[in-house]
Amino acid sequence: MKEQKQISDLGLAASLLACGEAIITVDKTNPRRVMFCFEYSDYLDELIDSYWSDSLKVSGRLLMEQIKLLKSRIYS
């Protein structure tokens, strides 16, 4: 099994999806915090660093689509 990176930040998860990364699973075992699981890679770490340093560039429309997708997965 490949190493996973768990992310609870909705904006970060949506940004990673908008960059082409895929969610492996959505962990809803804790009702207060949903965890989005991505396959770990050095590239994923680069994207995360870019997100937190405010240098990641994604389409606003695509980002909003990914947020809607994640919310539907959270509440389904």
How is 49-73 classified by DSSP, letter by letter?
A: HHHHTT-----HHHHHHHHHHHHHH
Q: What is the mean pLDDT of residues 14-43?
A: 95
Banded pLDDT at 31 (limits 50, 70, 90): confident
Contacts 24+ apart (CB under 8 A), 41-49: 44/5, 44/16, 45/5, 47/15, 47/16, 47/19, 47/21, 48/5, 48/7, 48/12, 48/16
**What pLDDT does residue 3 have?**
93
Supply 9's token pair: 């930040």
